[in-house]
Amino acid sequence: MKSSLPKVLHPLAGRPLLEHVIATALRLRPKSVQVVVGHGAEQVRQQLAAYPVNWVDQHEQLGTGHGVLQALPAVSPESTVLVLYGDVPLIGVETLEALVAAAAAAPALLTALVGDPAGYGRILRDAAGALVGVVEHKDATEAQREIAEINTGLLAAPARDLLAYLPRVGNNNKQGEYYLPDILSMAVEEGRTVASCRAASELEVLGVNDRVQLNQLEREYQRRQAERLMRDGVAVADINRLDIRGSLSCGQDVSIDVNVVFEGTVSLGDGVVIGPNCVLHDVTVAAGATIHAMSHLQEARIGAGCSVGPFARLRPGTVLAEGARVGNFVETKKADIGVGSKVNHLSYIGDCVMGDGVNIGAGTITCNYDGVNKHRTEIGDGVFVGSNSTLVAPLLIAEQGFIAAGSTITRAVGTEELAVGRSRQRNIEGWKRPTRQQTED
């Protein structure tokens, strides 16, 4: 990957490659999950510490067989062991269930037919089509390299077989490594039938060895997500320009324009419209709301029928009640904005509780920070705040209060009061515009 980040921590759809694999493994409801780690082990453990897995250190990277051998002491001899790889993130649960079922009495290998098998181990079969072994690409003959069926590396086997075979695996190969698939040849030599399952698609078993392959899997993952949404009735403007980096749930008749990114957990109600080039991170949007172009929402709750943007930034703690409007070049943070209230343009509303039917004029800011502490602004129902006003918190503006444009408000405003906080205008007669002074070169 040419990166300081361990390969299995590189993100696919916003989550580390290894996290996808662990999540899939847990869906099989195993007795335990063992994760064998080597390079960057501590960093990997820290990032995925929330998962119920047992970490196993492989201090020397001596091949797949050696890696599995490190984990066997933590495995019950009566169990079936399924071997997965941290850089193969798109493997499906159904495929793995079939592989485990095939390994009830003997080792079973997952294979795949690929267009370009270069670099993969090839599947060797006898005249009857039975699997007899695997030969790695570097050890294969020219004829064997023509075989299109490859070893995916994913294998299931009774634990007792692994305990019996793995200590006997040698490293007499060009890599000097202990190959896990060598146990298949051992089983065949003992007259046992080794089963195999074939993956549904090549993409399901593709691993990541560089950023090109990572991008290929990213686009495949996103295409699958977009197709799922469209089959569920969501209008996606362009299947190739949508990124879901978490979980997204949608109601009926939702419309998503191009270049929209969903991160974390996002929920969109019936009839929601998301304009182009928006980012939504841990956001709930209720029915009938519209998020206009170029808006960025994080940890916000948007009520029914609201309008946000274009070019709006809603920071954590923002809550918009039904029918509220936040317009272009408006930033909010820890702001509760009431039913039908409007902050239409060029304003900052932070640490604020706003009632219903409030109108905030252009250029208004709540001054919530005194250099040390944050303070709250409370705005009652029906308040009108004129353009270019500065509201210095802590501050209370009671119901139906009116703030004159251009005011700096530093003390409470009572019900139906007009507050004017600006200096008196003076017009100076006979004033002359300054002129540029001539200077020598």
Q: Annotated active-site positions, please?
A: 345
> Do 90 and 66 meet the contact criterion of CB atoms below 8 Å apart?
no
Other residues' Cβ atoms within 10 Å of the Cβ of residue 302:
28
214 Cβ contact partners less than 8 Å away, ≥ 6 residues apart? 1, 10, 12, 17, 208
* CA distance linking residue 23 with residue 18, whole number of Å: 9
* CA distance linking residue 39 with residue 49, whole number of Å: 17
260's enclosing H/E stretch is: strand 260-268
DSSP string, 160-222: HHHHHHGGG----STT----TTHHHHHHHHTTPPPEEEE-S-TGGG---SSHHHHHHHHHHHH
Residue 10 corresponds to which tokens in the numbers above? 């590189």
Q: Decide: residue 30, CB within 10 A, 0-12 exposed, 13-18 middle, 19+ buried.
A: middle
- Please, what is the Cα angle at 182 between 178 and 188, to 5 degrees? 160
229's enclosing H/E stretch is: helix 211-231
DSSP string, 380-393: -TT-EE-TT-EEES
Q: Is 164 helix (H, G, I), strand (E, B) or coil?
A: helix
Q: Which of 83, 80, 79, 87 is nearest to 70 (CA)?
A: 83
- Residue 39 CA from chain centroid, whole number: 24
